[in-house]
Chains A and B, each alone.
Chain A
Amino acid sequence: MARQQGWFALILALAIAAGALLVSFPLQLGLDLRGGSQLTLQVLPAGSIRSVQKEQLEAVKDVLERRINGLGVAESTLQTVGDDQLVLQLPGEQDPSRAAKVLGTTALLEFRAQRPGTEQEMTGLLKLKRQAQAVLNQSQVKAAAIANGQPVPPAVSIKAEELAEALTQLGISVPPGSSETEQLELLLSTVNTKIVALYDPAELTGKDLTSAGRQQQQTGTGWEVTLAFNSEGGKKFAELTKGIAGTSRLLGIVLDGRSISEATVGPEFKPAGISGGAASITGNFTADEARDLEVQLRGGSLPLPVKLIEVRTVGPSLGAENIRSSLIAALSGLALVAVFMVVVYRLPGVVSVLALSLYSLFNLAVYALIPVTLSLPGIAGFILSIGMAVDANVLIFERVKEELRSGNTLIRSIDTGFSLAFSSILDGHVTGLISCAALFALGTGLVKGFAVTLAIGLLLSLFTALTCTRTLLRLLMSYPGLRRSTYFLPAAQLPASAS
């Protein structure tokens, strides 16, 4: 009996610890239960890198983390999943488009000098660029002028034939039925890529940046992004500007392979270049664009490109609805099972209901401890593992009944019941755990959540069925008043000798 009491004390201590854990570490709810956005990004191999390595994935994660922090979203989490994926969770966020935009770009910033002998081609491209930009930006310029109380500038337009000629000249085939705005945007992006082809390879990149900021342009309506270099970057920048100072060649600022700004360097910088390690990008940005660019530059460029492969957004009221319905389902399922057990198994049925309540408590405590983020499939896994836990009890009690029917004493029947049921309980749980391992190793997202909760459930069920149920039952049997076979089995089923 001393051994039973020891076990009982242990179970009691565990129950108290589990309760305390649940109070101090609340359960983490998945986005499908609390509402919010979840974005899954795939890191793509590029250049000489054939497959994504662990360090590269971590490097991408670091950069993205800095960018997200720059966005100022509360309690976001970014986790690596598998070999080449990252999952960003934004609780409460209903519109993930801004996050998607900021995360998706590589933000490789390059400062490049124009190749000698390309001046004429550059002039043509820049003219087209300015024309297209002027038409595209005019609604914005107009709005800003009205807001500042300045006179509205005259409308800018581009002649249809001029546009058509420019497009054919650049070899752009226009999709049928596209609007003027779409054609202009197409033109602009092609021009920006063509300009990049006229530059020398980059000597100075975003790696040498120490900080980025933004301010309103002194002239015009847009915003500019300011940059500060480290000492090496400052040196490189001075070299770069020295080389082209006083010529008509340009200094290009290239972001992700598209030219965002071109600048001339005056002859006064011929001797030493632009020193001081600071520069600014004036690209006619809106306040939001400037902020996003600043965030991206500050976070650094991504070592590898990423692609958005999954976006899930759940409204908060849908989440609340999900919680409510799964709670009702879980509780009513448990209640039905409890009634069934007590009706069919009498006293041991009551014991198993106690053990199963402990089982549920331990389960939730483990979720809080690990921590497991509880999502809908996770809850389903939990509800199912209850089924397995009950099965273990059913197996044991059926065996106990059998032993009683064949005329064994009560205590002996209980002990034999437990030991005979053990092997099939073990086999059932092990095969269940094998399935969980396969699901966890090879499944994704939802499937993993299910596998984790089911596996925790199976392990705990082994413990509760073999320890809690047994200890509680043995403890009750130490009271002579409860030691009656009819508490286990209807009298009619007992052999005459035993009763």
Chain B
Amino acid sequence: MSSTPSIAPAPRFRISRHRILAWWGSGLACLLSLIGLLLCWFNPAIGAPLRPGLDFTGGTQIQLERACGVSCSALSSAQIQQPVARLQLPAEPGTPAPNLASAAVQVLDQGRSLVLRLPAVNPEQAAAVVAAVREVAGPLNASGTSVDTIGPTLGDQLLKGSLLSLLVSFAAIALYITFRYDRIFAGLALLCLAHDVLITCGVFAWLGLLSGIEVDSLFAVSLITVAGYSVTDTVVVFDRIREQKTLLAGLPMSEQVDVAVDATLTRSLYTSLTTLLPLVALIFFGGSTLFWFAVALTVGIAVGSWSSIGIAPTLLPLFSRR
């Protein structure tokens, strides 16, 4: 305390002393994520690094609510799958009626609601499918029905748009940091960002492999948000390092880093905590639509907070020109 009073107190917590452990931890997590992504890719049932949802593959998803409350009779998915597969759909002039043999049916909430996944059908055909299901599972609650149809071209557009916006925002952020700080900072911020996005994707690859969780366009949104957060977190630490540069010029880089991380540690943890609080609320109360979105963000922000404390600053001395 006495050597550098008032401006740079000796750090209570020296991140550099734990850097080997931090690198191992992150390296292992990245490796596991990569394995998950590759397993997904080589899994014939998935064939992509992540299990793509309706938004990307195109198709029709029909969600139905049975109007029987607690007294719903037991229902197996095969009971619905069979009549749907046999259904003769009204044809559209010029195109053959879609084949429903590949329809997938899920029964949820003890038989109270149903989710059907079909090839893309037009609204008239979707109404015919709902009518066929009503015969078996009816009566249905008309106000609890939702039908989503995404044409294959739109799915493709969405995928391309999401990937492109991810890459463009990465590049633009890198440029901004190069302009505000320097290239090394930008490189490290991007490395951290890639680390955070990779681990978030990895978690969802494993979720897709083990429990069939699919990624939709909201997942792409969450990745970009995670990227933004990750950079913000990293920048706060870098900002502190830059601010102290002249003051602590005599100290080795790793000690400068320790001082900066220690000074910003409370802020980093509090910020992650205050961001995670609304997300946890979303997970618990946000309903099914936003559940996996909130999970992806929670994972990404937690990882992003970690990398801005444990990875970006500890790597800085390695690349520093001194």
Contact = CB atoms under 8 A, between A and B. Distances in A.
B172 A438 contact: yes
B146 A315 contact: yes
Interface stretch (A107-115, A320-328, A366-374): A320-328
A283 interface: no
Interface in A309-353: 309-318, 321-322, 325-326, 328-330, 332-334, 336-337, 340-341, 344
Describe B's contact surface by its main secondary structure: helix
A151 B122 CA distance: 38
A312 B239 CA distance: 46
A163 to B, nearest CB: 18
B127 A310 contact: no
B143 A318 contact: yes
A96 B124 CA distance: 8
Contacts of B245: none
A441 interface: yes
B273 A438 contact: no
B225 interface: yes
B93 interface: yes
Contact of B151 (A310, A313, A386, A427): A310
A185 interface: yes
Nearest to A323: B287
B282 A383 contact: yes
A395 B243 CA distance: 15
Interface string A428-443: 1011101101110111
A153 interface: no
Nearest to A326: B286
Contact of B239 (A40, A308, A423): A423
A444 B161 contact: yes
A390 interface: yes
Interface string A204-225: 0000000000000000000000
Interface stretch (B19-27, B40-48, B206-214, B215-223): B215-223
A447 interface: yes
A42 interface: yes
Interface in B270-299: 270-271, 273-275, 277-282, 284-287, 289-290, 293-294, 297
B230 to A, nearest CB: 9
B87 to A, nearest CB: 13
Interface in A51-98: 94-97
Contacts of A136: none
A438 B278 contact: no
Contacts of A101: 124
Contacts of A337: 274, 277-278
A389 B143 CA distance: 37
A382 B225 CA distance: 12
Contacts of B150: 309-310
B110 interface: no
A406 interface: yes
Interface in B223-281: 224-225, 227-228, 231-232, 235-236, 239-240, 243, 263-264, 266-267, 270-271, 273-275, 277-281
B309 to A, nearest CB: 15
A258 B93 CA distance: 11
A439 B164 CA distance: 9
B74 interface: no
B13 interface: no
Contacts of A315: 65, 141-146
Contact of B275 (A35, A390, A441): A390
A32, A322, A394: residue with the most chain B Cβ atoms closer than 10 Å: A394
Contact of A454 (B157, B225, B236, B279): B225
A332 B173 CA distance: 32
Given A341-B274, A377-B221, A329 B282 contact: yes
Contact of B147 (A32, A313, A428): A313
Given A333-B277, A427-B235, A313 B146 contact: yes
Sort A-B residue pairs by CB-CB distance and give the 6 closest, nearest first. Answer: A333-B278, A387-B275, A325-B287, A428-B232, A438-B169, A309-B151
17 contacts: A32-B289, A97-B127, A100-B123, A179-B88, A310-B149, A313-B147, A315-B145, A315-B146, A325-B285, A336-B277, A336-B278, A340-B273, A380-B290, A394-B270, A394-B271, A438-B169, A442-B168
Given A325-B285, A434-B173, 13 more contacts: A97-B126, A179-B88, A312-B149, A333-B278, A387-B275, A427-B176, A427-B235, A431-B173, A432-B228, A434-B228, A435-B228, A438-B172, A444-B217
